[in-house]
């Protein structure tokens, strides 16, 4: 009993030991409260400032862009990378909501998120802008099927990229057992609508990659590209980086793969190949690349053909639209013009019509044996008295004729001359200008408002001389320098200029 009474007395009065304990607990609670408040404030801050002004967090975001809806390993890839320490945020980017839906792993931590690029009428703009979803310094572009195995590849890639100076702005690591990685050089000329791949001169230092690789670059660099995530992802990436002079280094690091081959059936492989071809075609069309030369020398054409319209519209003020975009004649058009010129010359020669290279066409032949790189048609002079020798020209008098090769012969509506079009759809053409001699001077009845469209002494045609042109040999005036300077002015062969400098001048640095 006495003990119980003593205990009751103890509850009223604190012993020194109990007081110290209570104080320590109170202090602890206070410290905990302030720490948690500070943490909450720190967590809020970046969101309040918005992604644009926030300095990038160190580390990287894993970005998955290339996968097929109908068969992919995206959830497994995401899970494998989320198991790394530290776990990177994983962003899966698709054009449209994938179907069937991806079963992405949720958090803890950043987890994996899906970003759909297709516009959605009820969403804010940032919802579909990938750069608004990446807050790290680096982005690792990871192909479907790549696995992370805790060997620290991503850290090594970041270290390697940090150590790079100069033009190397990307590093890459192949994914084992998927498509082998090729290191290529890539030259892109927008002026010539062309991209040329070659085997890389320096091993491991590339302008482009083909195959499956993880590519690491700075988010700032990736999202400063005109179209950072267009598909096919690596094709699009390297066309844009080649134009900026950026290189990619292949590291002595590689990733394992989840499954091989990636697609389990030949039908799915066929579907994937077809889709890849379609997106490649769309990409090159968007970029205005019409001729691609592969590293083995094969050519791919993405421009106009006999079955499509000409790839530029009606020409105003002698200045075709592509000159205003600082581009020259699309290579498919040059090719079609060469083909048409060669064909027409063959027909004229076979039927005994005397002809000669005229105007800008002769100028191109004199300068470099070809069509001037920004020209849009081919001009030939012919003897008017020889026209009846050629059945196609005779028939063209009565209306347009499609010949057996698909070329269209017609009398021009603009005046007394003939026009041969590449095809019914594609109106690239060779113009034939009939001249006749009058007192030793070659003249004609229709004149265009061009400085070079003038009479000239017939002695330039006596005799006609062969001249290499556009891959064959055509007839040209003798003393073609005298002929061209009479028409265009002195020094015309040495001093190239666009057809109408008042509208658009040639930038001499482009030559």
**Using CB under 6 A as the criterion, which residues of the chain lie in contact with ligand NAG when the complex forms?**
220, 224
Which CB, 220 or 462, lies closer to ligand NAG? Answer: 220
Which CB, 169 or 290, lies closer to ligand NAG? Answer: 169
From the CB of 278, what's the least distance to ligand NAG, in Å?
A: 29
Which CB, 49 or 220, lies closer to ligand NAG? Answer: 220
How far is CA 166 from each of CA 160, 163, 169, 463, rounded to the nearest angstrom? 13, 10, 8, 59
From the CB of 219, what's the least distance to ligand NAG, in Å?
A: 10
DSSP labels, 287-299: HT--EEE-TTS-E
Helix (H, G, I), strand (E, B) or coil at 480: helix
Strand partners, 171: 216, 249
From the CB of 169, what's the least distance to ligand NAG, in Å?
A: 10
From the CB of 162, what's the least distance to ligand NAG, in Å?
A: 16
Tokens of 284: 């090159």
From the CB of 224, what's the least distance to ligand NAG, in Å?
A: 4
Which CB, 244 or 281, lies closer to ligand NAG? Answer: 244
Which CB, 71 or 131, lies closer to ligand NAG? Answer: 131
Q: Are strands 208-210 and 182-189 parallel, antiparallel or unpaired?
A: antiparallel
Which CB, 41 or 220, lies closer to ligand NAG? Answer: 220
From the CB of 244, what's the least distance to ligand NAG, in Å?
A: 6
d(CA 43, CA 476): 78
Q: Rounded to 5, what percent of the chain is helix, strand, coil?
A: 35, 25, 45
Query: Residue 483 half-sphere exposure, CB side, CA atoms within 13 Å?
Result: 26
Which CB, 164 or 349, lies closer to ligand NAG? Answer: 164
Which residue's beta carbon is nearest to the bound ligand NAG? Answer: 224
From the CB of 167, what's the least distance to ligand NAG, in Å?
A: 14
d(CA 464, CA 227): 53
Backbone angles phi, psi at 223, to 5 degrees: -85, 5
From the CB of 159, what's the least distance to ligand NAG, in Å?
A: 21
Helix (H, G, I), strand (E, B) or coil at 103: coil
Closest to 183 in 3D by CA, of 156, 220, 213, 153? 213
From the CB of 220, what's the least distance to ligand NAG, in Å?
A: 5
Which CB, 226 or 400, lies closer to ligand NAG? Answer: 226
Which CB, 57 or 368, lies closer to ligand NAG? Answer: 57
Round the CA-based radius of gyration of the chain to a whole number and report it: 35
Tokens of 249: 């280094």
Closest to 51 in 3D by CA, of 222, 230, 220, 225? 220
How far is CA 379 from each of CA 123, 262, 356, 361, 371, rounded to the nearest angstrom? 56, 55, 9, 6, 10
Closest to 407 in 3D by CA, of 429, 387, 389? 429
């Amino acid at each position: 009993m006495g003990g119980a009474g003593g205990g009751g007395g103890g509850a009223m009065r604190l012993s020194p030991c109990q007081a110290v304990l209570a104080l320590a607990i109170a202090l602890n609670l206070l410290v905990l409260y302030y720490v948690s408040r500070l943490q909450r404030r720190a967590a809020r801050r970046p969101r309040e400032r918005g992604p644009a002004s926030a300095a990038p967090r160190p580390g990287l975001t894993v970005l998955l862009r290339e996968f097929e809806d109908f068969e992919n390993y995206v959830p497994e890839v995401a899970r494998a990378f989320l198991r790394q320490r530290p776990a990177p945020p994983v962003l899966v980017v698709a054009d449209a909501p994938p179907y069937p839906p991806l079963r992405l792993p949720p958090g803890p931590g950043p987890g994996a998120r899906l970003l759909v690029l297709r516009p959605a009428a009820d969403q804010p703009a940032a919802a579909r802008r990938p750069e608004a979803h990446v807050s790290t310094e680096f982005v690792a572009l990871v192909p479907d099927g790549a696995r992370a195995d805790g060997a620290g590849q991503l850290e090594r890639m970041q270290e390697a990229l940090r150590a790079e100076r100069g033009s190397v702005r990307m590093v890459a690591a192949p994914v084992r057992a998927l498509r082998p990685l090729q290191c290529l050089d890539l030259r892109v000329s927008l002026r010539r609508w062309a991209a040329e791949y070659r085997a890389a001169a320096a091993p491991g230092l590339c302008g482009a990659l083909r195959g499956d690789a993880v590519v690491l670059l700075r988010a700032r660099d990736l999202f400063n590209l005109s179209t950072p995530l267009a598909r096919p992802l690596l094709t699009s990436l390297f066309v844009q980086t080649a134009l900026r002079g950026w290189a990619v280094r292949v590291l002595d690091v590689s990733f394992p793969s989840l499954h091989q081959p990636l697609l389990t059936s030949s039908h799915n492989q066929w579907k994937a190949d077809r889709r890849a071809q379609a997106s490649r075609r769309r990409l090159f069309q968007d970029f205005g690349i019409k001729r691609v030369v592969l590293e083995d020398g094969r050519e791919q054409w993405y421009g106009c053909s006999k079955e499509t319209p000409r790839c530029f519209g009606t020409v105003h003020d002698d200045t075709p639209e592509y000159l205003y975009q600082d581009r020259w004649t699309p290579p498919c058009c040059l090719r079609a013009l060469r083909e048409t010129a060669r064909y027409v010359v063959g027909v004229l020669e076979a039927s005994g019509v005397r002809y000669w290279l005229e105007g800008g066409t002769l100028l191109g032949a004199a300068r470099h044996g070809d069509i001037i790189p920004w020209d849009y048609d081919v001009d030939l002079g012919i003897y008017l008295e020889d026209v009846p020798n050629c059945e196609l020209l005779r028939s063209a008098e009565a209306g347009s004729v499609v010949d057996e090769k698909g070329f269209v012969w017609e009398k021009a509506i603009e005046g007394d001359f003939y026009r041969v079009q590449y095809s019914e759809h594609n109106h690239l053409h060779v113009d034939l200008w009939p001249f006749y001699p009058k007192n030793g001077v070659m003249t004609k009845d229709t004149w265009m408002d061009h400085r070079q469209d003038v009479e000239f002494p017939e002695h330039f045609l006596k005799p006609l001389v062969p001249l290499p042109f556009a891959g064959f040999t055509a007839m040209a005036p003798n003393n073609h320098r005298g002929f061209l300077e009479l028409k265009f002015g002195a020094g015309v062969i040495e001093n190239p200029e666009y057809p109408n400098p008042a509208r658009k001048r040639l930038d001499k640095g482009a030559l």
